[in-house]
Chains A and B, each alone.
Chain A
Amino acid sequence: MPNLEHPAYPAADLLRLESLVPCRESQVSMLLSIFGERQHFSFPSIFIYGHTSSGKTYVMQTLLTTLQLPHVFVNCVECFTSRLLLEEILIQLQNCSSGPEQTSPVHCDTLNDFVRLFKQAVVSQELQDQTIYIVLDRAEQLREMEANILPAFLRLQELTDRNVTVVLLSEIVWELFRPNVGCFEPFTMYFPDYSIGHLQKILSQNHPPEYSPDFYAAYINILLGVFYMVCRDLKELRHLAALNFAKYCEPVVRGEANERDTRKLWKNIEPHLKKAMQTVYLREISSSQWERLQHDSGEPGQLKGLSAHTHVELPYYSKFLLIAAYLASYNPVRTDKRFFLKHHGKIRKTNFMKKHEKTSNHLLGPKPFPLDRLLAILYSIVDNRVAPTANIFSQITSLVTLQLLSLVGQNDQLDGPRYKCTVSLDFIRAIAR
């Protein structure tokens, strides 16, 4: 195991850091060597990517706080406009060394202002002789902002002429970021997924105080055995572990088994975990409901999941409208005559038609159809005469707002609006019943 070593930082801090970031030692030591000493100029921008919950945010945050490096940590989803983002960075920078005291509101609309204010802030906070780290979490959001934001952050060191390093964290690769016009290439770094061994190690690390580490490790082992196939998300696994641990302990609490009776415990928990995989993991029933079920030791069967409530109650004509829309979306126009006319004449069974029919229309997805066709099919599938009253038309629009139909093309097209049917075959079957 490579011990973290760096001459610039106290050994105690490094040791603590190492204990906090299990299985990420190599990445941390690499980052440390890039960062260099406090006053050293570092690489202007670093791009770190890796899958969900591979520890990017956590490692960055622990690294910066443990070593007490001046830093700014911003989540780009939260700052949904460039202005919010820039102001947030400036506010955090003001609080950086002087503690969370009330700061004067900052106004920063453009990047030009930002560079100016940033320089001021650095001077006022007396951070000139240290590298300032700006970490932008979920940096893929930057691509949605103004075109100059991302390139500017990449060469912020050059623009501000200050010792600053921008770290971008993202789940997607750099190639998807690169602007067309070209920009400064950041140093890219990959955080690989945790292996099952890593997960085991990390999950076992924080065991509940009442139980021994071995007992908890055995539990994690069982849990991973069930869930590893479907879920490698560390956060999710930890959540599931916490949810189901009480059930695992039950035999021990009741005194039916001791802590080392692994087999018995396994028998007790395994069906339970499988059930959890079908319900809680898919968020069919919520965690709190699951816990209450456990508490009352009731059967999860009695609680219906979200998907169980598929029945949709629709007004009389809406049902027919929806069915007509479905037919119009998935049947080709030329078959309308055959299906919906009483005297449709002879059905020609040409080879061509058969060949065409083979590619299922369901695979191709719904096709748009004009309003007139929808109404024509509606008239033919409803038994009694339907008058095209406002009732029918308003039901069409309400279907659109319910997202069962979707309007294709411009909204302002008064004559001949075109629709698509967005519901599935199962849904239509349920309605047609």
Chain B
Amino acid sequence: MSTCSVSKGCFVFKPTTKKKRLSEKTGHDFRIPGDDSEGTGLRFVTCQSLWNQVKSETQQIQEDLNKQLLENLVSFLSRSHSNFQEKTTEWTCRMKFREIPTAALVLGVNVTDHDLTFRGLSDVLQDNITPYVALLEAKDCPGTKNLMQKLMGQLMNCDIDVDSLEDEECVQVSRNKIRCSMSSLISWYESVKKKTDSETPSKKRNSSSRHWQSPPIVVIFKDMESFTTKVLQEFIVISSQHIHELPLVLIFGIATSPMIIHRLLPHSVSSLLCIELFQSLSCKEHLSTIIDKLCIVEHFYSQPLSVLCCQVEDIKKRAYSLSHDQCENIRRLPSFRRHVEKQESGKQVALLTNDSFLKEETVKLLEDLHVYHENYVSILRCLHVFTSSLPKYPLGKQIRELHCACLENRVWETEEYESSLQLARMLNKTDLVNMLQQCVEILMSSSGREFDKTAEKLKEFLTQFQNLEVAEASQDQDVSVSSQKELQKKTDLYHLQKTLLELKESRRPKKLTKFEMLRFEVVDYIDSLVRKYLVPAEDRTLHEIVYFNTANVLRGHLNAAPRTALHTALNNPHWYLKNQALKCDGGGISNKAPDICIVYKLHLECGRLINLVDWLEAFSTVVMAAEEPNADAASSDQVDDTIHARFIRAVSELELLGFIKPSKQKTDHVARLTWGGC
């Protein structure tokens, strides 16, 4: 299974670019461990279809996420530009000083693909607004000079891209490169503008419909936080002086919070800007979908029986084509064994020996499983409607938290469920009615016929509530509601239970109101639904086929441990290199291993400070041991030059990897930076 660790880490972040390679690779990988009897091809096809489905959904989510943001930005840019178009004849325009239109784009730390977003943004801008977009990064701009160079380089290049390549143009660019100041930028802009103006409309129709007469120059600062204050200030001051000649628009990419603008720029500078804020949405959803993808790959990879994980319609077909080995695999599943044990003895034998009988049974069980899953989802959503509005969220805010809780164990046995039911018993009427309505909607929309009755029952509750409204005397309700309100304030579990007990005792002699009785009924009904449908998947037979439960493996893939990997690679090169000769026994050091491995192993035996001379001695001993076992070479004091060179190279490689560093404490010694084996 070690092949999968080579490709780990490249799944998550670049699904689009790596897709082709990945799918080829997975196809290949599937074939390695198993033989054809395990249906690798089929598994792979199924995996791919699911993968594609998930992928397209993910892309949809991402597009939706950015769409709103981009639209806002584009409209902002066009607006800022229209201001520039207006000639400053009006009095107010003359009196106001020109601010640089600036968009502060807050993207959030949790979004990993800022680069992607910015590239998308600049593409959109180039298509719709202006050909002149410059993307600046802090690491390229340590000084104002570098910033200007970078900016002008990008702007003039993009000009060449848009227009046809002319010799004159190239000359101009090279001349401009010598003097990178604002004035040359302005003259460049003037010349470009003139050219687009003078060009015949027929030739330029295509682009002039997209761009305006004098398109703005958009400068995007990718990582605002990392720019030095001085550079930013100077750039803003300079460009504000030329805003009349040069329609600049700035976009600040901010990862943390817009407060950073005030922190980086003093008032005298920020007063030159006209800042508008754009915030991107959270990407939690996006991330969770991507992780789902990984689960799928891993599942198909490690579970041979995943052939059966497909659409309901295909189950039958596939089940009957199972081979004997696969049937055996099914029999080995723990959940199936449990199932068998419950049956009577005749059937047990049949299940264990007769393949075709087993297949039929499997199909039946799988169909059950599908039905179960559908029911499960609907009821889960109903329960979520209830729990998500309770104070303190005992079962979690998000539906996925609830989902986890339900999958892991019997949810109705947990303390949290108990407390949330108690809280639910104290809901006020409007909320309760609201929730019931939502539940009815969910149940109606689910495909299963099973919920018709349930929905009807809930509707019945709803009508009862409405009747109550008519019938119930007002003063009676007032009392109960007020006491409920009081209860809801106390969210602490301990206090809550205490007050509940007190209330119970005080209320006992008093008759419950109709509303309260109805409420109990509703909650009990929901409880019964939960008990019936939200059985954890592990209790179902054949759950191994459809459900993925080795999250730990996945965690291993996601949380890379480079130090461990490095240690393994250096300590046991056989693990990665797959060379039989490198296989070493126990703690011995094989001299066939790469030099760096030998050096690494030797250094593990040393203390905090390592004597280089001793180290070299040991190294040469190990290396010589194989090459010249005869005594006279080993006895010679002088170490061979090539060995010396090899040693030095290996040591410097170790230094590069961060295992050692030169020490000033002792001559001819290096210090270890690691404490020992990881």
Which A residues are closer than 8 A to B by beta carbons? 52, 75, 77-81, 84, 87-88, 105, 206, 208-210, 235-236, 238-239, 241-243, 245-246, 282-283, 286-289, 304, 306-307, 309-315, 318, 387, 389-391, 398, 401-404, 414-415
Contact = CB atoms under 8 A, between A and B. Distances in A.
26 contacts: A77-B234, A77-B237, A78-B182, A80-B144, A80-B234, A105-B178, A105-B179, A206-B95, A208-B91, A236-B271, A239-B97, A288-B101, A289-B276, A306-B275, A306-B277, A309-B106, A309-B258, A312-B256, A387-B561, A389-B560, A390-B562, A401-B223, A403-B260, A414-B658, A415-B671, A415-B673
Given A306-B277, A309-B277, A84 B179 contact: yes
Contact of A287 (B148, B256, B274): B274
Interface string B9-52: 00000000000000000000000000000000000000000000
Contacts of B83: 288
B279 interface: yes
B91 A209 contact: yes
Interface stretch (B261-269, B398-406, B546-554): B261-269
A403 B259 contact: no
Interface string B212-244: 000000000001011000000010011001000
B561 A389 contact: yes
Contacts of A404: 256
Given A208-B91, A239-B97, A306-B275, A79 B181 contact: yes
A402 B256 contact: yes
Contacts of A209: 91
Contacts of B255: 402
Contacts of B97: 235, 238-239
Nearest to B661: A414
Contacts of B353: none
Contacts of A403: 225-226, 256, 260
B145 A81 contact: yes
A287 B271 CA distance: 10
Given A105-B179, A288-B101, A390-B562, 13 more contacts: A52-B268, A79-B181, A283-B271, A287-B274, A288-B83, A304-B277, A314-B110, A390-B560, A390-B563, A401-B225, A402-B255, A404-B256, A415-B673
B95 A77 contact: no
Contacts of B282: 313
A283 B109 contact: no
B559 A391 contact: yes
B96 A105 contact: no
Contacts of A81: 145
Interface residues of B, number: 61
Contacts of B102: 286
Contact of B275 (A242, A246, A286, A314): A286
A312 B109 contact: yes
Nearest to B138: A401
A240 to B, nearest CB: 9
A403 B181 CA distance: 30
Nearest to B237: A77
A306 B259 contact: yes
Contact of A307 (B259, B267, B276): B259
Nearest to B260: A403
Q: Secondary structure at chain B's binding surface: helix, strand, loop or mixed?
A: mixed
B256 A286 contact: no
Interface of B: 79-80, 83, 91-92, 95-97, 99, 101-102, 104, 106, 108-110, 143-145, 148, 175, 178-179, 181-183, 223, 225-226, 234, 237-238, 241, 255-262, 267-268, 270-271, 273-277, 279, 282, 559-563, 658, 661, 671, 673
Given A238-B95, A239-B97, A309-B277, A87 B179 contact: yes
Contacts of A390: 559-563
A246 B92 contact: yes
Nearest to A316: B110
For the complex of A and B, 6 pairs with smallest distance between CB atoms:
A242-B95, A208-B91, A286-B274, A306-B258, A80-B144, A403-B225
B560 A310 contact: no
A206 B106 CA distance: 40
A351 to B, nearest CB: 39
B225 A315 contact: no
Contacts of B673: 414-415
B137 to A, nearest CB: 11
A402 B274 contact: no
A78 B560 CA distance: 48
A333 B146 CA distance: 42
B268 A310 contact: no
A225 B387 CA distance: 56
A307 B259 CA distance: 6
Contact of A239 (B96, B234, B261, B276): B96
A103 B501 CA distance: 94
Which one of A87, A389, A398 has the highest number of Cβ atoms from chain B below 10 Å of its Cβ? Answer: A389
B340 to A, nearest CB: 38
Given A77-B237, A306-B261, A312-B256, A88 B110 contact: no
B52 to A, nearest CB: 29
A313 B109 contact: yes
A245 to B, nearest CB: 7
B559 A80 contact: no
A391 B91 CA distance: 58
Contacts of A288: 79-80, 83, 101, 274, 276
Nearest to B111: A313
Contacts of B179: 84, 87, 105
A283 B235 CA distance: 19
A10 B525 CA distance: 101
Contacts of B262: 283, 306-307
Contacts of B101: 288
A401 B253 CA distance: 13
A401 B258 contact: no
Nearest to A53: B268
A245 B90 CA distance: 13
Contacts of A314: 109-110
Contacts of B144: 80
Contacts of B268: 52
A426 to B, nearest CB: 10
B181 A78 contact: yes
B658 A309 contact: no
Contacts of B234: 77, 80
A282 B270 CA distance: 9
A245 B92 contact: yes
A314 B102 CA distance: 25
A54 to B, nearest CB: 14
B661 A309 contact: no
